[in-house]
Amino acid sequence: MSDSQGLFDRLKARGEEVWSQLSTELMSNEHFVKAVQSAVRGKERLNDAVGTALKTMNVPTRTEFKRAVARIDALEKELAAVKARAKAAPAKKAAGRPSGAAKASAAKKPAARRSRA
């Protein structure tokens, strides 16, 4: 096990050396640096163009979508709280009011008929 760990450590160290040398050489190459800078500018332009196209089509951005989802979550919680309060309120009010049947019979009194003259 020690031999395989030693081999792994040597390979890892050698890989890090090669990577370090390669990145140093690339960053010192003027053409490579210009190419990377051009690629970054191109990506920025592409992002701007895509953003403009999505706005034109009324497609929300990621930030707008996340904001809408958060607002919906908040409204759902608020609605659940209102429903819970509404459910608890009739039980409290029922003790102080006449029964619903008494109200209904009082409301159903027949209207006086008009006589035709």
Distance CA 50, CA 56 (A): 10
- Please state, rounded to an integer, the average pLDDT across all residues of the chain: 85
Distance CA 54, CA 60 (A): 7
Q: Where are the domains of the chain?
A: 12-59, 60-93
| pLDDT, tens digit, 9 for 90 and up, residues 37-91 | 999 999 999 999 998 999 999 999 889 999 999 999 999 999 999 999 999 887 6
Give the Cα-Cα-Cα angle 65, 67, 71 (nearest 5 degrees): 115
- Provide the whole-model pTM: 0.44
User: 30-56 and 2-28 are packed helices; what angle lies between their axes, rounded to 10 degrees?
Assistant: 90
Distance CA 95, CA 59 (A): 53
